[in-house]
Structure 1
Amino acid sequence: MTNATQSATKKRPVYRNINLFTDVRTYRLPAAGFVSILHRVSGLLMFLLLPFILWMFDNSLSSEISYEAFTNAFVAGIGFVPAWFVKLVVLALSWAYLHHFIAGVRHLWMDATHSVSKQQGKSSAVFTLALSLALTALVAAKLFGLY
């Protein structure tokens, strides 16, 4: 290569060790990496909120009175926690479940079909994000009484 050719090609930065304070602002994570991180975050969120999930499940199935108290939590809240916050927590759990499920199906599909090309990974990651957010928007509309 000549010097003119080398100077004409754009030098891309190489990140070996990403520094949280200097490199994160300029580093662009690909869609597949973003989905992978969100898959882990959604799994952690579901794990940490497991006691709340079990409480909701227990109150919804124990008796008619407990079911009434369960549905009342979405109208009047729980103790000092307002109803809108309960709805937001349930919405976050809904997103976590939907995203984790769809991303898990994406991983299984990629494993089963050996679909590991860069373009296919990007398109399936974008599809995963779009579908999980669209389904979460439908749950939010139902939860907040839009239909």
Structure 2
Amino acid sequence: MSEIAKKPRPEFRNLNLFTDVRTYRLPLAALVSILHRVSGMLLFLLLPFIVWLFDTSVSSEISFGKFTAAFNVGLGILPAWFIKLVVLALIWAYLHHLAAGVRHLVLDVTHRTTKDFGRHSAVATLAFSIVLTLILGAKLFGLY
């Protein structure tokens, strides 16, 4: 295609929240980077819950009974399905943070900063974290 026939690319200088953001296409690599930060924040904020889960699962047989009861009947006013959803969110956050962290390390070590490699590694990161979360979530909710 000649330079004259090419459609001019839109130029975004000041993004308007109501008009430009709806049509702006975020690249997958940017989405993975944003989700990496979100998953890290989720892991940090739920760290007391993670410590409680670990502590009650390994302290004694009685505390392990409390641990399993939290997943079967609930915890205080929180129903069991809510505890399972929070743990499923933790599973996704951990897997995505791990995969995106490895992706960033590979990008740093190999200096492969092409758009094509970024897109393929972003797809692999998303696929890895989502597929493993679905498999572990099925196990968590008792589907197998």
> TM-score, normalising length from structure 1?
0.93
State the 1:65 CA deviation: 0.3
User: Alignment RMSD, CA only?
Assistant: 1.3
Which of the numbers 26, 32, 35 marks the counterpart of 1:35?
32
Identity %: 66
Residue deviations 1:74-101 (CA, integer Å, cap 9, x gap): 0000011110010000000000000000
CA distance in 2, matches of 1:142, 1:114: 38
CA distance in 2, matches of 1:35, 1:128: 8
Structure 2: tracts of 5 or more residues without a match: none
State the 1:14 CA deviation: 1.4
Q: Given residue 137 of structure 2, which amino acid in structure 1 is its aligned partner?
A: A
CA distance in 1, matches of 2:14, 2:56: 48
Q: Given residue 25 of structure 1, which amino acid in structure 2 is its aligned partner?
A: R
State the 1:17 CA deviation: 3.1
Q: Given residue 96 of structure 1, which amino acid in structure 2 is its aligned partner?
A: A
Which of the numbers 65, 71, 79 marks the counterpart of 2:76?
79
CA distance in 2, matches of 1:124, 1:11: 29
Q: Given residue 14 of structure 1, which amino acid in structure 2 is its aligned partner?
A: E
How many positions carry a matched residue from both structures?
143
Structure 1: tracts of 5 or more residues without a match: none
CA distance in 2, matches of 1:33, 1:90: 26
> TM-score, normalising length from structure 2?
0.94
Q: Given residue 75 of structure 2, which amino acid in structure 1 is its aligned partner?
A: I
Name the structure 1 match of 2:42: 45
CA distance in 2, matches of 1:68, 1:121: 45
